[in-house]
Structure 1
Amino acid sequence: MTSVPFIEPLDDAAAARAAHKLFVRTYGHGPAVVWAAPGRVNLIGEHTDYNGGLCLPIALPHRTYVALAARDDDLVRVVSDVDESAVASADLQGLHAGEVDGWSAYPVGVAWALRTMGFADVHGFDAAFVSCVPLGSGLSSSAAMTCSTALALDDVYGLGFGDSDEGRMTLINAAISAENDMAGASTGGLDQNASMRCSAGHAIRLDCKPGLDAHESVKPEPFDLQAHGLELLVLDTCAPHQLNDGQYEARRRTCEQACALLGVATLREIADEVAGLPREGEADAGSVGAGSVGAGRAGANGMGAGDAGAHDGAMTRERRLEKVYGALEDDLMMRRVRHVISEIGRVDECIAAFQEGDMRRVGQLFNASHDSLRDDYEVTIPELDVAVNVARQCGAYGARMTGGGFGGSIIALVDAGRSQAVAQAIADEFARRGFHEPRALAAWAGAAAEQVA
């Protein structure tokens, strides 16, 4: 069998030179700046961002690099190393949401979004992109592109947001709008926050609860698997990956409808309330657990905020969940809500397990997350499930899909030095089943987006 390919990150200096050279070849003059923004891996907390929940991403060492220069008109021209002969262009003057097709909608959309947000000094630009973030892999190649573009535009047009975490929130909103409104690829903000706000050697506990400021929404969490003799395998299934075919939006809409029925603004309100209740058997002792709500159990967690008997002595998580689920329209809505509530709870439990050095518990939580995404949220496909199952059979502590699903990648927590063997076993099984050949990368917690030239 053919050895599974591993994608290595680019050296910043070499990648900056490559982007610079591509810019000069394409436009005949040099760029003003080169910025880089990473892809991301979400360790746990999937489909929780747009529900006001918690996520635990790391920035990948794999990045997208953009060489960029401002123009004195409203024309945008973009080129990428994927096809250097194809230069896409658009005019920002009179541009409306959804009017740019193809990959160029992402960088053009950032400038459009900034202008829509009131930054009238933002005009056209020329840009050249070089990237090692695998496309269509569920590792946020689009966020790496929009975030690098946003920071480069902030730089050349002197907006002043890129130098602080608080300022970057403005650029994150522009990047989110570019994806949602111009490119039509729904995103909840996890990817852009990870790309702009992570730090080397750390994951971030990203709190997507509405109304939080920059300081409240992100807490760095140490992520050093080497200290535990482990590594994180990321494997791109190379299955077709689409989030703009309505499946993502359908699940988001179901969650919004559930909130309306439950009388809450976000499912996070339910998750927080349930997390403060004891489980069955703990109520008499007065024990209040703060860990995962429903991780590894068929019944996850959920609960309407403001219910008058929520914290009396007889109320437990399980009883409240029965009431919450009973208020929903049907079994499908119940399963969608059950995933979100249980997944929010798993994030803090995973952080606690990391802090305690309990890697087996981390692996169990990875497994519970994937099983919930497969059975309750129904966003996996055969390639993702097969890859996860093979990784588990090969001794992974835990494995799960990462990203929005419907294609993309898995992550597996494995002993140091085992990534190649596990990836090869998955590739061999893919070949046997007639799937596309996968590709892999060993991941560690990289730095946030930054200027590299």
Structure 2
Amino acid sequence: MKQKLLEGFEKEFGYSQGVRCFFAPGRVNLIGEHTDYNGGHVFPCALTIGTYAAVKKRDDNLLRFVSLNFENSRVDSSLDDLTPSEAAGWTNYPKGVVWAFEGRGMKLDHGFDMAVIGNIPAGSGLSSSASLEVLTGYMLKSLYGFDVTNTDLAIIGQYSENNYNGMNCGIMDQFASAMGKEDNAIFLNTADLSFEYAPIKLDGIKLVVTNTNKKHKLTDSQYNARRSSCEAALAELQTVCDIKGLGDLTPEEFEKVKDAIKDDDRRRKAKHAVYENARTLEAVEALKAGELDRFGKLMNASHVSLRDDYDVTGIELDTLAEEAWKIDGVIGSRMTGGGFGGCTVSLVRDEAIDEFKEKVGAAYKEKIGYDCTFYIISVGAGPREV
């Protein structure tokens, strides 16, 4: 990948001397969906796939970008013009991070040339945008000597996506990419960013990501509407109880005060956030105790809640999960990411992998009309120079 990246950089920009290369991973969330902007817990892990960049500082203020994943992706800009625009296309993500750095007083003295290439399937819900944001932040830290931690990179990446790109995501995606640790998931409390690593010990079991191949773009979806519903529900609950986020409530506490939420749809959205947070807490306990069957049942329950209460799955994701549940050897399966397309994540015993691919793939194509794609994934580390 590095060689292809360097060759692409030289072809586009006409030189290769002094170029440095960086990587930041994508992520998959094992459980804890749509809880990160509700002050709850999440349980993601970084992947070994992600986004790579070749970069060199310039002597002027120009910013020149190219993606080797797409034709005609070259976009030239300048430090003097960091306003988001449709013309900037995909470069709004790295430009947003530069903008966020400068907003924190970390101004770039010169521009840069940047070529990127990624092996995260586009539109898969495995956080290609967060990967690119963390990658850009880590590159800026390294090239310009900015004093920021990897946690800072996650916060800056989220801030830029919220305020530059108009996507009201939580912190999970950027945090998982920035703080990833090989063979470990991250048990993160999004209310205060306290976290611990939890080893993923899957003897005889594989993590399988299945891509619906339905492209989605969260800013064009109902993601922001879901967040608004939760914020409105929280405001209603705060009239009867002292909480800062929906993640502060246990399911039992929620049931006592839920009638403060006057709209049934908002009540269901809030219920998911509360119950999903509780499932995540229990799932981490189960994993630590080696109780993978209990972990799998919680994954399944998570998908049902995302389908019935949060309304973010759709026929593609539901088909993948429901067909997976029929197969002996599938411990658990659920949608992962924002929803409205993207992927499921499944825990599958080694001896059931072939049956899983064959039966789920055939049922999906028959019902949806096109193929899904399977990836056996490994848990990787965070951003680094390569």
Paired residue for 2:206?
A: 231
User: 380-389 or 251-260: which moved more?
Assistant: 251-260
Report whether the alignment pairs 1:269 with 2:244.
no
Change (3 A) 1:322 1:85: closer
2:220 aligns to what SS in structure 1?
Answer: coil
Displacement of 1:440 in angstroms is: 1.4
Determine which of 307, 329, 337 is the counterpart of 1:403: 337
Paired residue for 1:446?
A: 380
Report whether the alignment pairs 1:35 with 2:22.
yes
Deviations for 1:243-273, whole angstroms, at most 9, x for unmatched residues?
1125111111111111211223211222xxx
> For 2:244 and 2:85, how far apart are their aligned partners in 1?
28
Change (3 A) 1:32 1:349: same
1:42 is matched by which residue type in structure 2?
N
Please show how residues 104-253 of structure 1 align to structure 2 within 5 Å: 104-121=91-108, 123-161=110-148, 167-210=149-192, 212=193, 217-226=194-203, 229-253=204-228
Displacement of 1:362 in angstroms is: 0.8
Determine which of 258, 261, 265 is the counterpart of 2:233: 258
Unaligned runs of 5+ in 1: 1-14, 162-166, 275-300, 302-316
Determine which of 420, 423, 442 is the counterpart of 2:357: 423
Deviations for 1:291-314, whole angstroms, at most 9, x for unmatched residues?
xxxxxxxxxx2xxxxxxxxxxxxx
Please show how residues 334-373 of structure 1 align to structure 2 within 5 Å: 334-373=267-306
User: 42-51 or 418-427: which moved more?
Assistant: 418-427
Displacement of 1:94 in angstroms is: 4.0
Deviations for 1:361-399, whole angstroms, at most 9, x for unmatched residues?
011000000000000000001000000011111221111
Displacement of 1:186 in angstroms is: 3.0
2:116 aligns to what SS in structure 1?
Answer: strand
Paired residue for 1:93?
A: 80
Paired residue for 1:55?
A: 42
Paired residue for 2:2?
A: 16
Report whether the alignment pairs 1:332 with 2:265.
yes
> For 2:81 and 2:73, how far apart are their aligned partners in 1?
24
> For 1:160 and 1:100, how far apart are their aligned partners in 2?
32
Displacement of 1:84 in angstroms is: 4.9
1:79 aligns to what SS in structure 2?
Answer: strand
Report whether the alignment pairs 1:76 with 2:88.
no
> For 2:229 and 2:159, how far apart are their aligned partners in 1?
21
> For 1:378 and 1:99, how far apart are their aligned partners in 2?
29
Displacement of 1:111 in angstroms is: 1.1
Deviations for 1:195-248, whole angstroms, at most 9, x for unmatched residues?
1101001001011114x5xxxx2200010212xx21111101101212112511
State whether residues 100 and 183 of structure 1, in contact with CA within 8 Å, keep that contact through their aligned partners in structure 2.
Answer: no
> For 2:73 and 2:336, how far apart are their aligned partners in 1?
31
Determine which of 437, 442, 448 is the counterpart of 2:371: 437
Change (3 A) 1:129 1:417: farther
Displacement of 1:433 in angstroms is: 2.1
2:170 is matched by which residue type in structure 1?
G
State whether residues 97 and 181 of structure 1, in contact with CA within 8 Å, keep that contact through their aligned partners in structure 2.
Answer: no
Change (3 A) 1:69 1:420: farther
User: 416-425 or 53-62: which moved more?
Assistant: 416-425
Look at both structures and tell me which one has the larger radius of gyration over its CA atoms.
1
> For 2:84 and 2:155, how far apart are their aligned partners in 1?
15
The number of residue pairs the alignment matches comes to 380
State whether residues 316 and 368 of structure 2, in contact with CA within 8 Å, keep that contact through their aligned partners in structure 1.
Answer: no
User: Percent identity, aligned pairs only?
Assistant: 38
> For 1:353 and 1:222, how far apart are their aligned partners in 2?
12
State whether residues 111 and 123 of structure 1, in contact with CA within 8 Å, keep that contact through their aligned partners in structure 2.
Answer: no
Paired residue for 1:310?
A: none
State whether residues 42 and 280 of structure 2, in contact with CA within 8 Å, keep that contact through their aligned partners in structure 1.
Answer: yes
Displacement of 1:347 in angstroms is: 1.2
Paired residue for 1:323?
A: 256
Determine which of 52, 59, 72 is the counterpart of 1:65: 52
> For 2:140 and 2:10, how far apart are their aligned partners in 1?
18
Q: What's the RMSD between the two structures over aligned residues?
A: 1.7
Change (3 A) 1:321 1:153: closer
